[in-house]
Amino acid sequence: MRIYDIIEKKRDGQKLTKEEIDFFVQEYTKENIEDYQASALLMAIFINGMDEEETVNLTESMAKSGDMLDLSAIDGITADKHSTGGVGDKTSLIVAPICATLGIKMAKMSGRGLGHTGGTIDKLESINGFNVSLKTEDFFKQVNDICVSIIGQTGNLAPADKKIYALRDVTATVDNISLIASSIMSKKIAAGAKNIVLDVKCGSGAFMKDKESATLLAEMMVKIGKKCGRNMAAVITNMDIPLGSNVGNALEINEVIDILNNKGDKQLRELCIVLSATILSISLDWDYEVAYKKAEQTIIDGSAYKKLIEFVTAQNGNEDFCVAPVSSKSLEIKATKDGYIQSINSRIVGESAVLLGAGREKKTDTIDYGAGIVLYKKTCDKVSVGDTIAILYAETDERLKNAEKLFNTSYTIDDEKPEMKPLIYKTIR
């Protein structure tokens, strides 16, 4: 079998066999195929597409290119929740304790932030002492003991995807439904959970900008998961507005604590209950309404917050949630006219947080865990001249100045109150 023939076949719009896809994934991972040949094949796939069977085969091949986590050592029902990336998205740190409180084994591997979206592991590392690098046996033991653990992704989880994605990123072949779906799902399949719920974001702060493309992606990933023997659901959610009020690692941990103490942002609370109820309903075959009420009750009675404390202390975090202090310098963004916030561009807010030091532009960048943004006004909120729209936090005046200039382009104020878009567009089961 030759990579030349595979490139030629897909260039001409023909369907690739499982054996041809396996050959490409395996040989490229072993560095037996040159980047320029892999780029040619990826561009042919980008232009001519892949059908459902090809996409499933690509997913499985990439998943099997490295470690396949065997969760059979965990007693009970395993589940995972994955977000396609957003701004202010700290839902995993709320959903995992809720589901664990109700007996679901949340054995979760998460990533770090890059670009305008934050990462769960970075948020956890803003808690003093928190260990994200448990050994596999300790990871399993903790999940068996308290039903929840979140650790960093292992270095050899779906290595083919890591290598292929790096090439897609520099060859303008990222934006293809089959390639996106197989990239996400290869890591989820390799991570081993039986039940998977996807939070597919759409809007200004998300990769998918509109409901139609987000729905196509969600449907494809649900089909892939089912073909691979997983119970699946996807919730398509609004990322035109940052999720919650806080953007930045330690700031977002503080918001997690608020939500699990039955306080804080109502939309963030609602989304976390919906995601938790979806996990519970597909994992335990519960009626959704019953699952929703049970999930909500864990917040109301404080049991999910107790589970959060148990989880944090089990991984050496400070039980008093001694997070990194907020950065020493701050700057208020004030309204310059009366009216309503017409929109707030999530991506620009996320990029502003990166400029403040809360995120990375390159993988080698160092994060300031105390940097970030607290939003006091968002889309549809009424403002008067002088009202505080947001406060920016950073360690240097230069960072504040650069972020202020960008942040001020993220919102507009006008006389008419805009129509509020829904938080949740659709659930695919």
Q: Which residues are catalytic?
A: 82, 161, 168, 183, 187
Structural element, H or E, at residue 414: strand 411-414
Other beta carbons less than 10 A from residue 5's beta carbon: 11
End-to-end CA distance of the chain: 39
Distances (CA, A) of 356 to 116, 126, 302: 12, 16, 34
- In angstroms, rounded to a whole number, what is the distance separating the alpha carbons of residues 65 and 396? 44
Q: Supply φ then ψ for residue 345, to 5 degrees.
A: -75, 110
The CA distance from 262 to 232, in Å, is: 29
Angle 388-269-147 from CA coordinates, rounded to 5°: 135
Alpha-carbon distance of 391 to 410, in angstroms, equals: 14
Element at 247 (helix H, strand E) = strand 246-247
Cβ(406)–Cβ(392) under 8 Å? no
411-414: strand order across its sheet: 382-383, 339-344, 411-414
DSSP secondary structure of 20-35 = HHHHHHHHHHTT-S-H
